[in-house]
Structure 1
Amino acid sequence: MSAADDQSNLRSPPGESASGAVYVRWGHHSCPSSSELVYTGSAAGTSWDDSGGGVNQLCLSQSPVYDSPVAGVSGQRSFVHGMDYLIYDFPHLQSKKDHDVPCAVCLAPARVAKLIIPGTNVCPSNGWTREYGGYLMSNKINSLHRRTMHICVDRAMQGIPRTAGVPSGNKRDALYLVEGRCSSGGGIPCGPYVDGYELTCAVCTK
């Protein structure tokens, strides 16, 4: 099957509309009841110690289709690796440490806007629907680690079952919780924010 043939399978049947807001539900195999599942995948990204490669996390298809591949690992390529949770000193999610990260691409029908709000796990009250709430996560701050995008990982965090207890060194990309660092002299304000608290997030559609 060619890539073009595979794409044709994703088209809506005649008379059906695929309009709506599309988002990734990070950390979960399925979509909320308010949305339709487009596909289930596995989170992947560039290794934390590579200086090149993409900065964004990918929801990688579980049904790959190749087009004229060349066998063998080439030094003239960019690489993506599996991604796992590295969660320390946070009892609520401690059991998910070293699990690989699932993801689901979801379609919210009849909605046209998507909003990811960092710092809160609730959505605006004027007609927005909360698809899910969770924790802000990214690669950690370290001179040996590269920068990544911040993503919103579902609070009902799931892992890929076969990956339980597999050391993170086999996966090469990781998600850490994000803390807010506030200041009374400018920057993120202390008062509404608490220095060192883990930040939440919400994915909203309208």
Structure 2
Amino acid sequence: MILCFVFGLVLFGRTLLASQEEPVCTSRFDYDHKMLQKMVMLEIEQRNTKIALEEIKTTLSKQTDGSRQEKLLLANIEEKIKEVETATSVLRSGNTYVRWGRTQCPENGTELVYKGYAGGSHFNNKGASANYLCLPEQPLWNVYEDAEQTASTVYGAEYELYGRNMNNFFGKGVADHNVPCCVCRTNRASILMIPGRNKCYDGWTLEYEGYLSSGHYSHEASSEFVCLDAKPEIINGGSADENGKLFYFVEARCGSLRCPPYVNGRELTCVVCSK
């Protein structure tokens, strides 16, 4: 009787894991909250099956002549608990990052969540938001008015990457072209962007390498530092100089920055690593 109950309990947990869809979310906070709820449910299911398994082991240990069927059922339950534990571990350890300048994620066990268009506030607006956005290709709308309102604004992004010889960087010119992006998910728990390096430290997995990028120091709007992929793609048909949110190289300036090891005027590299 106990065995049948526990077997059904484990199967319920496995069905719960398999049937739950990815939560429909309106923000990164909402996504994290719902994923946390999902993880808690799996943790509870895992704990319940472990407790029941211990009860079964205790019962069978008292039955020296336990049937072959009972022993096979016990082994089956243990196997299914391992499946739940593995799935829970994967859910717990996952993390996401944006790959700026590319439409595909690296082939290292990382999955594509979505691809889209880099954007953000206009480079010359006072009070503009600093961060870059990766806007999906298929937006969904709620209540809206098409007339322009007094509000915050989002523009597309362009490469403002100039140099005496751009072929030294990318093998092609990308200035004024629109910037793509994609959001990637890895099962590794920690994501780290390291400025000034193009290789990960030992024990970390390379997600992608590139050049440190931000807005221009002289513009009204502030910006953040992001890692632009070393092999950037462009969005076809977007070569007009329309500005918006801009990507510039970031150069070292000696003084308070220690030189060496840094070199004045040299473009800084970057790397995104996971562990």
TM exceeds 0.5? yes
Number of the residue aligned with 2:220: 145
Whole-angstrom CA distance in 1 between matches of 2:228 and 2:173:
15
Question: Match of 1:95, SS?
Answer: coil
Question: Following TM superposition, by how much is the alpha carbon of 1:53 offset from its aligned partner in structure 2, in angstroms?
Answer: 2.6
Percentage of identical aligned residues = 37
Residues 1:98 and 2:176 are matched in the alignment: yes
Please list every run of at least 4 consecutive aligned residues from structure 1 whose deviation after the TM superposition is greater than 3 angstroms: 5-8, 14-19
Number of the residue aligned with 1:117: 194
Partner deviation per Cα, 1:76-115 (whole Å, 9 max, x = no partner): x100100000111152245111111111100112x10010
Amino acid at match of 1:104: C
Question: Following TM superposition, by how much is the alpha carbon of 1:6 offset from its aligned partner in structure 2, in angstroms?
Answer: 5.0
Question: Match of 1:162, SS?
Answer: coil
**Which structure: greater helix fraction?**
2
Question: Could you tell me whether the CA contact under 8 Å between 1:48 and 1:174 is conserved in 2?
Answer: yes
Structure 2 residues without counterparts, runs of 5 or longer: 1-22, 36-41, 43-83
Question: Could you tell me whether the CA contact under 8 Å between 1:177 and 1:198 is conserved in 2?
Answer: yes
Question: Match of 1:40, SS?
Answer: strand
**Which structure: greater strand fraction?**
1
Question: Could you tell me whether the CA contact under 8 Å between 1:6 and 1:65 is conserved in 2?
Answer: no
Number of the residue aligned with 1:128: 204
Query: Please, which moves more after superposition, 14-23 or 150-159?
Result: 14-23
Q: Report the TM-score when normalising by structure 2.
A: 0.65
Residues 1:81 and 2:155 are matched in the alignment: yes
Question: Following TM superposition, by how much is the alpha carbon of 1:55 offset from its aligned partner in structure 2, in angstroms?
Answer: 0.9
Question: Could you tell me whether the CA contact under 8 Å between 2:128 and 2:222 is conserved in 1?
Answer: no
Whole-angstrom CA distance in 2 between matches of 1:121 and 1:20:
23
Whole-angstrom CA distance in 1 between matches of 2:243 and 2:118:
11
Question: Could you tell me whether the CA contact under 8 Å between 2:227 and 2:271 is conserved in 1?
Answer: yes
Q: Report the TM-score when normalising by structure 1.
A: 0.85
Number of the residue aligned with 1:26: 100
Whole-angstrom CA distance in 2 between matches of 1:97 and 1:88:
6
Number of the residue aligned with 2:261: 192
Whole-angstrom CA distance in 2 between matches of 1:28 and 1:101:
8
Whole-angstrom CA distance in 1 between matches of 2:206 and 2:144:
41
Question: Could you tell me whether the CA contact under 8 Å between 1:21 and 1:112 is conserved in 2?
Answer: yes
Q: Which has the larger radius of gyration?
A: 2
CA RMSD of aligned residues (A): 2.3
Whole-angstrom CA distance in 2 between matches of 1:71 and 1:194:
49
Partner deviation per Cα, 1:100-151 (whole Å, 9 max, x = no partner): 1111100112x100100001111111x2001000000011111x43210010
Higher RCO (CA-CA < 8 Å; seq separation 6+): 1
Amino acid at match of 2:129: G
Whole-angstrom CA distance in 2 between matches of 1:177 and 1:70:
37
Residues 162-177 of structure 1 mapped to structure 2, 5 A cutoff:
162-163=237-238, 165-167=239-241, 170-177=242-249
